[in-house]
Each structure stands twice: as structure tokens, then as C-alpha cells.
Amino acid sequence: MTRAALAVLMALAACGSDDSSGESDGGGAAGEDGGGGDGDARVAGEVCTDPVFTTSDPNGGWSDGGYYVHNNMWNCDAYPCVETLSACSYSSFFAVANMNDDSHDGAVKSYPNVHKDYDAPVLSSFAAISTTFAAESPHVGIYNVAYDIWLNGVATDGSNEIMIWTENYNQVPAGDQAATVTLGSATWDVYRTGDGGYIAFVPTEVMTSGAIDLLELFDWVASQGWIAADSTVGQIGYGVEIVSTDGSDARFDFTDFSITDR
């Protein structure tokens, strides 16, 4: 929870000027709430080769199409970290990171991501919430490519963090395994902390791309009594939690992202 709370505070602090042409001066306005956010810039499946935005700022970010692309080196003050994020659009961006786990504490250092912010609509007000994703990772070090979703506030007292680990490389979720469930076309091992504030869905097979019915997942969590039926949506993000790249440069590519809600 400390990871997420710090990450959200950094994202909120980033609200301000927005430089869409090059190096960030510290961030941009937070992602705007809207429909699916599928602007003209989105071309699913494209690797970013000619970025319009690049930042090495630990809190640098860029608003595009109702989403916010965020470098989010939230825990790098205590560790040696280098990370540069480059974006062609909200659905086509990459991060090049250099970190290690020489301390052997397994600490997450950063979460470069794209996310959409919501103004606390109740889950029951949605007829659908679905998402598409695609990513390519380097298979070195320790990391998990994952959705990070906040309900009932964003990193506040009483909020719920739900993660969906689409690809796990040498990482371990917090909490204990509480269930195994098949939702959509995937089977998930579900982890949960004792206080219920953190829930992680880990697929039994790696998912490098695909689509997820988020509302179905939320409804299942509510059916377990783990969140209230009248829970609200705060933020939905997709990126990679990086612990280590074994001390060498490693590139993480994101080539699709969208949220459709109504």
C-alpha cells in the first residue's frame, strides 16, 4: 500500500504544465474522465519509434486522449535508478530502465504506466467496463506487467487496490492466495492481503495482449464480499512494476491500451 500511495501522490503532484513536444518539466494535467478515450492518436499494436514526448523526470508525464502517461519513479530516492519514458500516444509508449535488487529487499522502484482517472462513479452505474492491452517485456530482472486499479478512493484510507498481473517475471504478489477463478477466457490465481485492501489477479498463463471484462472481475470481487456493492471507481492504469533489470538497460514496450466504459 505504501508503494501505491506514494505513486498516486506523485501523479497528483504532476498536475500542472504539460509539454507534449519533448522533455517533461515535471508532468502534465491528470488524465481526463471521458468515454473510451480512443482518440485519433491511438494505433493498436504499433511499437513507438518516433516519440512525441520523452522524459527522464522521476515524475514526468503527458496527457493524451483522456489518459495520462506517467514515468512514475516513485521509489527511486532510496535506490540507484535510471528510467526514461517515451510516448507516441497513450497506447504506444516505452520505458527504458536500469535498476537492481542488490539490497535483496525486493522493493518495487517504479511503475511507468498509462492511466485514466474517474470522478468516483458507482460501479452499479456502468453497463460495461472493458479494456484492451498489449506489452512486450525484456525477460531480465524482476518485474510484473500489470493493471493497477483503485476503487473507493485513490490510495486513501478505506480504498481498495486491485491489480491484474498480465505478465509476471520473478515477482511475488502481496498477501496469500485466496482463490482460483475462471473469468472470461482466463483462469486466475487471486491473492489478497489480510485487511482486504490489496487484491491481485495473476493468470495461470502469461497474457502479453488481449481484452479483459473489468466489470465482470469487479462483480466477482464484490460477490466474495471483498468490496462493497456500491464501490466507486477512482483510477484504472496499466504499466509495469519494476524491481530490477539486473543493473543493465531494459526496454518495456506498450503497444495497445484502451478502456471502454458506458
Residue pointed to by grid coordinates 502481496: 174
In the chain, the largest separation of any two C-alpha atoms, in whole Å, equals 47
Residue type, 146: A
Domain range enclosing 235: 2-261
pLDDT tens digits, residue range 90-111?
999 999 999 999 999 999 999 9
Question: With 60 as the cut, is the pLDDT of residue 11 above it?
Answer: no
Partners of 9 in beta bridges:
none
Q: At 209, which CATH number?
A: 2.60.120.180
Q: Which of 64, 85, 58, 57 is nearest to 20 (CA)?
A: 64
Question: With 70 as the cut, is the pLDDT of residue 17 above it?
Answer: no
- What is the distance of C-alpha 41 from the center of its chain? 20
**CB 256 within 8 Å of CB 209:** yes
- Our CA dihedral for 172, 8, 146, 132, rounded to 10 degrees, sits at 160
pLDDT category at 27 given cuts 50, 70, 90 is very low
Give the Cα separation of 196 and 228 in Å (integer). 11
**DSSP alpha helices (H): ranges in the chain?**
2-13, 214-223
**CB 153 within 8 Å of CB 234:** yes
Question: With 60 as the cut, is the pLDDT of residue 78 above it?
Answer: yes
Give the Cα separation of 232 and 169 in Å (integer). 31
Q: Which of 222, 223, 224, 241 is nearest to 232 (CA)?
A: 222
> Which pLDDT value is given to residue 29?
35
> Which pLDDT value is given to residue 235?
97
Question: With 80 as the cut, is the pLDDT of residue 234 above it?
Answer: yes
> Which pLDDT value is given to residue 30?
36
Distant-in-sequence, close-in-space partners of 213: CB < 8 Å, separation ≥ 6: 128, 129, 130, 183, 184
> Which pLDDT value is given to residue 32?
34
Q: Which three cell numbers stand for residue 61?
A: 508525464
Residue pointed to by grid coordinates 508532468: 27
- What is the distance of C-alpha 33 from the center of its chain? 16
Question: With 70 as the cut, is the pLDDT of residue 3 above it?
Answer: no
Number of domains, the chain: 1
pLDDT tens digits, residue range 174-225?
999 999 999 999 999 999 999 999 999 999 999 999 999 999 999 999 999 9
Summary mean pLDDT of the chain: 88
Question: What pTM was estimated for this model as a whole?
Answer: 0.86
Give the Cα separation of 102 and 142 in Å (integer). 12
pLDDT tens digits, residue range 132-172?
999 999 999 999 999 999 999 999 999 999 999 999 999 99
Question: With 70 as the cut, is the pLDDT of residue 13 above it?
Answer: no
pLDDT tens digits, residue range 29-71?
333 333 343 334 445 678 999 999 999 999 999 999 999 999 9
**CB 1 within 8 Å of CB 226:** no
Question: With 50 as the cut, is the pLDDT of residue 23 above it?
Answer: no
